[in-house]
Amino acid sequence: MAEPVAVVTGLSVSDAERSAGEFLEAFVEGTEVVDLTSLPAGEAFDLLFDEDPSAP
């Protein structure tokens, strides 16, 4: 018999138990547009090329 497919993935245990509204509110509010020109070059490049979570 096939394993049931998980409906929700990629969440920490604590996030999974957070309320849906609180989590999604933080998800939207936490998005910010960063002005690269205000950052030191190294930090800006770190932001641009940080690790890809989909990479194997």
Partner 1 sequence: MIDLVPPSPSAATLLPFDPFTIDDRSEAELDELPFGVICLDHEGTILRYNMAEARLARLDRNQVVGRNFFSRVAPCTAGPAFEGRFRDFARQGGAQDILRFEYLFDFKFGAQEVGIEIVRAPSGDRFYLFVNRRKFFDARRDLPEGFAAPLQRELAPDEGAAGVRRDDVDRRVLEVPWSFLSALRATCDQVAPEGWPLFCTAWGTQWGRSVAVDLETEALEAYQLSIREVPLRTAMEMLSRSMAKQGWGALRVDFSYTAQSAFVAHLDRSAIAEAAARSNTMRCHMVSGMLGAVFTHIANRRVAAREITCTARGDASCTFVVVPDSRRSALEGAIQAGVSDVGQVVRSLKRESLRG
Q: Which residues bind partner 1 (CB under 8 A)?
A: 5-11, 15-25, 27-36, 44, 47-48, 52-55
Nearest distance, CB of residue 10 and partner 1, angstroms: 3
Tokens of 54: 């989909």
Residue 20 Cβ vs partner 1, minimum distance, rounded to whole Å: 4
For the bound state, the minimum distance from the C-beta of residue 1 to partner 1, rounded and expressed in Å, comes to 16
Q: How far apart are CA 26 and CA 15, in angstroms?
A: 11
Cβ closer to partner 1: 41 or 48?
Answer: 48
Closest CA to 48 of 32, 31, 30, 36: 36
Task: Answer whether 13's CB lies under 8 Å from 23's CB.
Answer: no
